[in-house]
Structure 1
């Protein structure tokens, strides 16, 4: 996927950002969770969706309450439409009990 196409699709997945790491485009989103165990619960919800989709994001739990998810297609070394679909499905997960503050505001760092 070209950078231009990725920039046109990023608005479809609220809260996600485009990253360019060494020429590899990735989707990235960060949340603050209520506790370390709530972060693990969030990962479990994401894992269930990822298994169904057959598409597995990179999951990071930094400190005790900072969760970051990166999505990209390793096989092509960048983004595909499936990455945006997975991001949209993650956005649809019931995260209200896991996050600190408002869900809508959780994408800010």
Structure 2
């Protein structure tokens, strides 16, 4: 083990190590084992000199940098996380059958709801959903609204529940049926629906 630490202390070894991880970014497997080895080496380094400890810290920094890059790659492959700073209207829905798709917590949903103004967060028997209502000018205007929403839904491969009640009351519910709750897809679709030109279809509020 001491030889391993000594080898890692050489600048040439650190360069080779960085080069190695550039090639490993496409995979997510056995470098985890190497990371654990370095953690063990780091604990041994406590009994070494300050220079040795500094070297191990530098090596660990290389690991951390490349782990971060690998995590970013996972997001591109469908491992979805949620950021309150994102513009959902500029994003694209992922397939709802993605094995890594998971329902978000109510806490996360409450953080994201401000990114889709006019939409409401509902908890129906433990199932989180987004909903929004409009009052349209006529029954046909309601169907026209549905047509516009349907085009967006088809483009995204993510489909809401549409309700037209009392001839001019439209309500749309969005949630990911496959996971029984909300995912980022739902906020993306809600944001895109909010961007539709619906004003000509809606009843205007009476002026005071």
TM-score normalised by length of structure 2: 0.49
Partner of 1:8: 111
Partner of 1:56: 159
Unaligned runs of 5+ in 2: 1-103
Q: Which has the higher contact order (CA 8 A, sep 6+)?
A: 1
Partner of 2:174: 71
Return the structure number with greater helix share: 2
Partner of 2:143: 40
Deviation string, structure 1 residues 37-76 (Cα, Å, up to 9, x no partner): 0000000000000000000000000001000000000000
Partner of 1:27: 130
Deviation string, structure 1 residues 5-56 (Cα, Å, up to 9, x no partner): 0000001001000011110000000000000000000000000000000000
- Aligned CA RMSD, in angstroms, stands at 0.7
Where has structure 1 moved over 4 Å in runs of 4 or more?
Answer: none
SS in structure 1 opposite 2:132? strand
Q: Which has the larger Rg?
A: 2
Deviation string, structure 1 residues 59-107 (Cα, Å, up to 9, x no partner): 00000100000000000000000100000000000001100116xxxxx
TM-score normalised by length of structure 1: 0.92
| Count, aligned residues | 102
